[in-house]
Amino acid sequence: MESAAAVPCAACGDDACAACRACSYALCRACLDEDAAEGRATCARCGGEYAAAADPAHGNAGAEADEVEDHHAGGGLRERVTMGSHLNDRQDEVSHGRTMSSLSGIGSEQIMDEKDLTDAYEPLSRIIPISKNKLTPYRAVIIMRLIVLGLFFHYRITNPVYSAFGLWMTSVICEIWFGFSWILDQFPKWCPINRETYVDRLIARYGDGDDSGLAPVDFFVSTVDPLKEPPLITANTVLSILAVDYPVEKISCYVSDDGSAMLTFESLAETAEFARKWVPFCKKYAIEPRTPEFYFSQKIDYLKDKIHPSFVKERRAMKRDYEEYKVRINALVAKAQKTPEEGWIMQDGTPWPGNNPRDHPGMIQVFLGETGARDFDGNELPRLVYVSREKRPGYQHHKKAGAMNALVRVSAVLTNAPYILNLDCDHYVNNSKAVREAMCFMMDPTVGRDVCYVQFPQRFDGIDRSDRYANRNVVFFDVNMKGLDGIQGPVYVGTGCCFFRQALYGYGPPSLPALPKSSICSWCCCCCPKKKVERSEREINRDSRREDLESAIFNLREIDNYDEYERSMLISQMSFEKTFGLSSVFIESTLMENGGVPESANPSTLIKEAIHVISCGYEEKTEWGKEIGWIYGSVTEDILTGFKMHCRGWRSIYCMPVRPAFKGSAPINLSDRLHQVLRWALGSVEIFLSRHCPLWYGYGGGRLKWLQRLSYINTIVYPFTSLPLIAYCCLPAICLLTGKFIIPTLSNAATIWFLGLFMSIILTSVLELRWSGIGIEDWWRNEQFWVIGGVSAHLFAVFQGILKMIAGLDTNFTVTAKATDDTEFGELYVFKWTTVLIPPTTILVLNLVGVVAGFSDALNSGYESWGPLFGKVFFAMWVIMHLYPFLKGLMGRQNRTPTIVVLWSVLLASVFSLLWVKIDPFVGGTEPVNGTNCNTVIC
């Protein structure tokens, strides 16, 4: 455990002697003296009081710092006042908004005093480094591979194939790009780590009852179209949230209906009623998972001995109730298939306000909570809130990102929990202690001070055993994300993520990293004495940190000459309102680090205020989607949002509980999977062409670590690999059809470089499998789908992204034919023709035709041509093996190729057969002067 002296000063990096009670902003003795001399008597970050930094477990004072108080007695600023009190014309002095919370218990001194000091100081998590026996050889092979790669490129560039110069040049360019992509992907995995949490210590420190000190959490669930996202799936997600193992009064669930569908509203009302039975049943018997659909689908014999008869009886009754509940939901779905001409009518006879999904008012309905219905045991239930933001023609709504920002504002007005956990509508809580797992990081003062979010891996149900199309993304979630966790943290993947609300508001972390020494004025190093230079550097670092910390919202130095009331009014009008919008209740909530509804808010008007903050024009001329909240500008708003937080100096944490925290549904047939990958790749292309591109954004302050930047660069450039990948996959077929090759006759040295490259690739993969614990089948499926996605979805994403960002054309590649199958994994065998399938189909046919043509030519040319043929056929088979899952997807269950594919095959075979006869003018070249010819067969 670190001692208090080890806590660094937030301004200069020296050992701190005092910290703010409210936000733990720590300062050393020299910085405190400077503040006192400048008339600053309170925390520069939040205006709270300082106290001795003797208790790092609390994150604030362990005892009063008398000397600090002496410095503060000199005058200067007093405690900063809350924005809401001035906005409501209250001029009396009150305590700072960040310390005012009726719900939060983070760092509660009362609870800490009741616990044994030893338990209180124990860490709530720990880092488990990868064994040196596994990591050292892995790093050594990476370096070796980098060296071999350089020697390999030297050989390839200095040994051109003049007889097929165009093919050779194409192959070298592709190989250089592949090497660059490998560097971007490999080096962010340099420092992988594992983590372990201690939920029992969390309970010991903060309690586990009605008076628990655990922090409140707001859950966000987003849905759009209930006909594409079945209400039963969304309902199961909501039920799993309401039944989570966490204090009831600390949980709120907000469901965003961005399609304003009455079906979603009615199904949520049915869900709230069923939750009155389901939640107490889950907590009484501690069942897992707490989503009824998947719980009742488990093949477990509950009639064995040692099972209490009362449980068996209640389980049967609950399953019967759930089946009846499903019937009601399905009846609502069946009714919603055909919209009445006059629009939907609610039960009270009034028209449904959201009949026009593009033109309707904002809607909020609180189903459960303090004033709502209790469960059948008489206990309170978590709050459940239906939200549909206002939409009007002429306003940009920003799709999911806009809906999430609306939820941020609504939840801030109604509950304002300090933490937000967002889930897709098809991702349910699989581990009831998932929230506690996240709090082991967020509420640990030694870990969570600079953590903006805790990301959980995505796990999926309903995928075939072989995972034909790599739906599980095991390599990404179990290898890449562990590597990022050892740098600055995993990227945000859109679901299963617990946020610190303040980080979403654009605030910087409490301890900002120091600016690089290169940013110090060069004349200081040349003209000033050493002692004076060090002093200047500390002052510059301190001022830079504080100015940047305040610049996210306002800069107090610009208005120091005003009195408190005038200053607060200027802040609210000039900065806060321009940043957060025109809502005094919401603005005050943004200052409350520990959450809770502002004291200045009138409970009777909260719903009205919540409706106001989801109005379609609320975000106009504000920083929403630009600097705060979910960031706009890409369909993958998750990557962009996490990137902005990391650029501000925050770090994230990767949490992998033994029992997966959340599980979801994945598209398992080929076409749907490729369209999912297309959307992800399109988002990356949009980021690449935007101002937020990691290649040039976020260099100020040096807060984004360079390995982390490499990872983000890899995240946004990988779709462009489709261009060289398609060219490279076509090369073996062209070589077979033309009789030419891209590699000259190999010398002994060249053979060593080729073998060294292949061996380093194999060793890197083997050692990566060893430290990550994933299986070779998962690794191979990832390699296969990297090629499948690269030559299909990624290619379309590149062209669609360029058309959208440059020409303003929004082209959608949609599935045009559908089929259904009710058998197990039936969806896996469904064939849906879509334009995304054209490029890989073409490449497959081209290589198959090339192999046939190559063998035909070898039979006609004699045994001497079989040697050169081997390399070309091996190259073609490499492509075919990687596309084999794609070929199986085309065949379907009956292993019969669809007619459309047969027509494509015949057409392409005819075209390339004709090209085979007349291809020499396109790829031919002059013979090399020195006579060193490559393996060439003249057609």
Q: What positions carry a catalytic annotation? A: 258, 638
DSSP lists the bridge partners of residue 197 as 125
Q: Which long-range contacts (CB under 8 A, 24 or more apart) does 818-826 make?
A: 821/893, 825/462, 825/464, 825/668
Nearest partner of 234 among 258, 205, 199, 203, judged by Cα:
258
3-state helix, strand, coil in the chain (%, to 5): 50, 10, 40
Residue 58 has a CB neighbour count (10 Å cut-off) of: 20
Pairwise CA distance, residues 734 & 916, whole Å = 8
Pairwise CA distance, residues 128 & 254, whole Å = 35
- In 3-state terms, what secondary structure has residue 350? coil
Residue 765 has a CB neighbour count (10 Å cut-off) of: 15
Annotated binding site: 222, 228-229, 258, 399-400, 424
Peptide bond into 885 cis (omega under 30): no
Nearest partner of 840 among 910, 899, 786, 896, judged by Cα:
786
Q: What is the 3-state secondary structure (H, E, C) of 384-440?
A: EEEEECCECCCCCCCHHHHHHHHHHHHHHHHCCCCEEEEEECCEEECCCCHHHHHHH
| DSSP result, 751-816 | HHHHHHHHHHHHHHHHHHHHHH---HHHHHHHHHHHHHHHTTHHHHHHHHHHIIIII---------
Pairwise CA distance, residues 427 & 805, whole Å = 31
Q: What are phi and psi of 624, to 5 degrees?
A: -60, 130
H/E segment holding residue 257:
strand 251-257
- In 3-state terms, what secondary structure has residue 193? strand
Annotated binding site for UDP-alpha-D-glucose: 222, 228-229, 258, 399
| DSSP result, 486-499 | TTT-PPP-SSSEEE
What are the Cα distances from residue 861, in Å, to 27, 119, 855, 867? 83, 82, 10, 12
Residue 319 has a CB neighbour count (10 Å cut-off) of: 13
Residue 649's region, left for phi above 0, alpha for psi from -120 to 50, else beta, is left
Pairwise CA distance, residues 655 & 497, whole Å = 10
DSSP 659: S
* Burial label, 214 (beta-carbon count in 10 A; 0-12, 13-18, 19+): buried
Annotated binding site for Mn(2+): 400, 424
Pairwise CA distance, residues 229 & 423, whole Å = 14
H/E segment holding residue 454:
strand 451-455
Pairwise CA distance, residues 729 & 882, whole Å = 10
Residue type, 315: R
- In 3-state terms, what secondary structure has residue 301? coil
Length of the chain, in residues:
939
What are the Cα distances from residue 903, in Å, to 17, 895, 907, 910? 78, 17, 6, 11
Pairwise CA distance, residues 499 & 167, whole Å = 50
Answer positive or negative: Cα dihedral of 108, 110, 116, 117.
positive
